[in-house]
Amino acid sequence: MESVIRTLNELVDRGVIEGFAIGGATALIYFSTPMLTEDIDVFVEIKKKGPLVDLSHIYSFLIEKKNSKVEGEYVFIDGFPVQFLVPYDELSKEAFEATIPVSYSGLSVRIFSLEYLMAIMIQLNKPKYRERLRLLMEEGNFDDALLSKILASHNLLGRWDILRKEIR
């Protein structure tokens, strides 16, 4: 993981991307019991050249400079599968703006906050996310008022009410 963070920081330093934050289950590990994940979700801030998102410059840099390889939707950086994502809707954009700094092996990295991770899981409503939400509710380490505020601003409170009853 250290090598992935170093590589991501190099992408910023070289101007390939403007910034990044780790989301998904990898970020969730910081807050909760480790959960199985197949990849590292890296949300990137890039300069857009029109309505389409082009990540080819990231892939090209990594393949040429870092001896990485692409398989499907992943770029393998030192053996770690990384999926590059651009914040895709208002909730993910807000989550990206509200990231928190953490230290990993002495390296600085930004991750999505727990409440935004939960809001995205509620929004996407996949079976694996319902199980993660159940565990998070048991642990109770989240700020319920903040989560409710985020959900209300994205019209997700009703979905959360239903999900909460289902997963208890």
Question: Domain residues of the chain, as ranges?
Answer: 2-112, 115-167
Q: Is the separation of the CB atoms in 168 and 137 below 8 Å?
A: yes
CA–CA distance, 165 with 154 (Å, rounded to integer): 20
In whole angstroms, how far apart are CA 96 and each of 21, 34, 92? 7, 22, 6
pLDDT at 40: 94
Range in 30-39, 53-62, 90-99, 130-139 the model is least confident about: 30-39
- Residue 17: its H or E element: none
Q: Is the separation of the CB atoms in 111 and 30 below 8 Å?
A: yes
pLDDT at 49: 72
Specify burial of residue 118 (Cβ count, 10 A radius: 0-12, 13-18, 19+).
Answer: buried
Q: What does pTM read for this prediction? A: 0.91
